[in-house]
Structure 1
Amino acid sequence: MLQQYKHILVPVDGSYEAELAYKKGVAVALRNNATLHLVHVVDTRAFQNISSFDTSMVEQVTETAKKTLDKYIEDAKTAGLQDIDYSIEYGAPKSVIAKDVPEKLNIDLIMIGATGLNAVERLLIGSVTEYVTRTASADVLVVRTDLDNNPATNPKKA
């Protein structure tokens, strides 16, 4: 019997790697007749060290994320996927993606983009992708290729 996923989570952060995960997530959700949940996590810790912190900064980040997520929803529906939604969460991305959202939404597959960090950044702050693959209770698929399964090369970095 083939594994069939019903609730797929794709974290998106505006990066090229996350967009690849989103595109593959749409394809997998269509094949599995599954619900696709997109999540964007606003890392509130990033704002803690700003002395002139005010809520308008968080509101700006949230509004930008909402526009991106609305476009993803529209594109997925155009591709034929109707069962898709999103949420914008606040907190530490690692735990929100690995634990909080999967538990709340009964996620059985997390599709996440390969890290965009270099080796030094991963050593110092740790990769969200690496943390999710180690600690999530759901299956995790790390997306490293484009829709044709060719190695992903970010056009912005090329």
Structure 2
Amino acid sequence: MLQQYKHILVAIDGSYESELAFEKAIAVAKRNDGELFMVHTVDTRAFQNVSSFDSAMVEQVTETAKQTMEKYMQQAKDAGLQKVSYTIEYGAPKTIIARDMPKQHNIDLIMIGATGLNAVERLLIGSVTEYVTRNATCDVLVVRTDLQNKPALASTKKPKPTK
């Protein structure tokens, strides 16, 4: 029997890689008649070093995230998904995606974009994708290609102007 994924989590962070993961998550949810959960995590550690921290900044980030997630929600519904929802969470993205959300929603597949960090950045701050693949208790699919299975990096390269 083929594995069927009924509760699919996709991490949305606004990057091109997360866009690819979202598009593939729609396809997987449709094929499996599954439910798609989208999560955007506001990393509250980013606000710790802001000396003039105030609630207006958090409200602005939240409003931007809500607008983005509503757009994705509509896109998923337009693609034919009936069972789709989103949440905006606050805290450490690594643990929210790898542990908290899977427990809360009985997730059986996490779809996440490949990291956009270079080797030095990964060493210094760590990769959310790497952490999720190592620590999640369910299957994790790291998306590296577009819907036509073309490498994501090739899709983002712009042609050089001719002289």
Partner AA of 2:100 in structure 1: D
Q: Deviations over 1:62-88 (max 9, x none)?
A: 111111110111111111011000000
Q: What residue in structure 2 maps to residue 132 of structure 1?
A: 132
Give the share of equivalent positions with the same residue, in percent: 72
Q: Which has the larger radius of gyration?
A: 2
Q: What residue in structure 1 maps to residue 29 of structure 2?
A: 29
The within-5 A match list for 1:1-158 is 1-153=1-153, 158=158
Write the distance in 2 (CA, Å) between the matches of 1:135 and 1:145: 23
User: Secondary structure of the equivalent of 1:153?
Assistant: helix
Gaps of 5+ in 1: none
Write the distance in 2 (CA, Å) between the matches of 1:157 and 1:36: 30
1:121 Cα deviation from its structure 2 partner: 0.2
1:125 Cα deviation from its structure 2 partner: 0.6
Write the distance in 2 (CA, Å) between the matches of 1:79 and 1:130: 29
TM-score by length of 2: 0.94
Q: Does the Cα contact within 8 Å between 1:16 and 1:154 map onto a contact in 2?
A: no
1:157 Cα deviation from its structure 2 partner: 5.9
Question: How many pairs were matched up?
Answer: 158
Write the distance in 2 (CA, Å) between the matches of 1:3 and 1:156: 32
Write the distance in 2 (CA, Å) between the matches of 1:74 and 1:8: 17
